[in-house]
Amino acid sequence: MLKFILSLGLVVAFVWGCGPLLQSCWGIKDAEGKIDWPRVKKYATLSDLSYKSEKDVKSEKISGFGDELYTKVLDGVESRVILITDHKNKLHWVAIEGTANKTNVKLDAEYLKEKDPLLGIWVHKGFHKLALAVYDDLKPKLISGYKIRVTGHSLGGAAAAILSMMYSVEGSLEECVTFGQPKVTNEKGVKKYWDLPLTRIVDNKDIVPLVPPLTIISAIHGIYRHVGVEVILKPGGHWLWLSKHNANRMLVTGTWSNLFNESIGDHYMRNYIKKIEKILKKE
């Protein structure tokens, strides 16, 4: 038993210590031309807005996004969805609220996988439930021929990733940008949706992108993996860009180095916006 504990300690120490080294080897620091930060700020603003009350949402100026606003807290999942339509550019913006109540926490905890018949892959049951609720609610409101941009934070980011897969199958997705997003599918799902235009913005101390944790139950139908490009927000207005290949190799980059030093405060949307604003000031 002692040998096992020592061996486990060495493995953890190795992984923890190698995190920053792997980031340095595989990540491109402040990668010029890779990220449109003003547009990322717009996605972040919309993700943050999804946490507000209906009154606050409707009082916000949406001129930078479009002409028409629709918002609703969806029955059964208790998450707010925002739809802004831009008729001039034939574009829909969709934002999904993250974890904000007990119902949302239950969705987070439903990490057994279920197969989506449209996507043909296994996905996180709780995140899938939220994505389907948003898909069904918005379907009659979306205009044929309009492209769709999707965003969300935390639970909302996970649902946004799955929803984006649905829109990509239908040919209407333009882009998806998420913040602090957990994993949603397995390796086969990642390979099938390798070309999904998804960018995951991750704070280097945010623990949530590490979940669901690797357990016997979560490994059923394949270990959870991340889809898309990963951008790691670092202190001082710096950031790292990882290609889809390297982001997938790292499982969750930018967090191993903080395995025993995570802060829930680093997961909050206001923290993401603060770091994005620092990056914009440097550009």
Nearest to 108 by CA among 218, 252, 232: 218
Q: Is the pLDDT of residue 104 over 60?
A: yes
Report d(CA 76, CA 255) in Å as an integer.
Answer: 33
Does residue 85 lie in a domain region? yes
pLDDT at 15: 44
Does residue 3 lie in a domain region? no
Q: Is the pLDDT of residue 190 over 80?
A: yes
Return the axis-axis angle of helices 37-49 and 269-282, rounded to nearest 10°: 160
Query: What is the number of structural domains in the chain?
Result: 1
Per-residue pLDDT band for 8 (boundaries 50, 70, 90) equals: very low
Q: Which of 54-63, 101-110, 249-258 has the highest mean pLDDT?
A: 101-110
Instruction: Report pLDDT digits (tens) over 123-133.
Output: 999 999 999 99
Does residue 18 lie in a domain region? no
Report d(CA 176, CA 174) in Å as an integer.
Answer: 7
Q: Residue 265's domain is classified under what CATH number?
A: 3.40.50.1820
Euclidean distance between the first and the last CA atom of the chain, given in angstroms as a whole number: 53
Q: Is the pLDDT of residue 65 over 60?
A: yes
pLDDT at 260: 53
Instruction: Report pLDDT digits (tens) over 136-172.
Output: 999 999 999 999 999 999 999 999 999 999 999 999 9
Share of the chain above pLDDT 90, in %: 69
Does residue 207 lie in a domain region? yes
pLDDT at 171: 97
pLDDT at 51: 97
pLDDT at 29: 66
Mean pLDDT for 83-103 is: 97
Report d(CA 145, CA 85) in Å as an integer.
Answer: 12
198-203 and 229-233 beta bridge pairing: parallel
pLDDT at 251: 53
Does residue 206 lie in a domain region? yes
Domain that holds residue 188: 24-282
Q: Contact, 147 vs 174, CB < 8 A? A: yes
Q: Is the pLDDT of residue 7 over 90?
A: no
Does residue 34 lie in a domain region? yes
Mean pLDDT for 188-211 is: 93
Mean pLDDT for 265-273 is: 90
Q: Three-state SS for 34?
A: coil
Does residue 266 lie in a domain region? yes
Range from 28-42, 58-72, 173-187 carrying the lowest mean pLDDT = 28-42
- Average pLDDT of the chain? 86
Range from 18-32, 49-63, 147-161, 180-194 carrying the lowest mean pLDDT = 18-32
Q: Is the pLDDT of residue 231 over 90?
A: yes
Does residue 7 lie in a domain region? no
Report d(CA 117, CA 273) in Å as an integer.
Answer: 36
Per-residue pLDDT band for 219 (boundaries 50, 70, 90) equals: confident
Report d(CA 65, CA 5) in Å as an integer.
Answer: 54
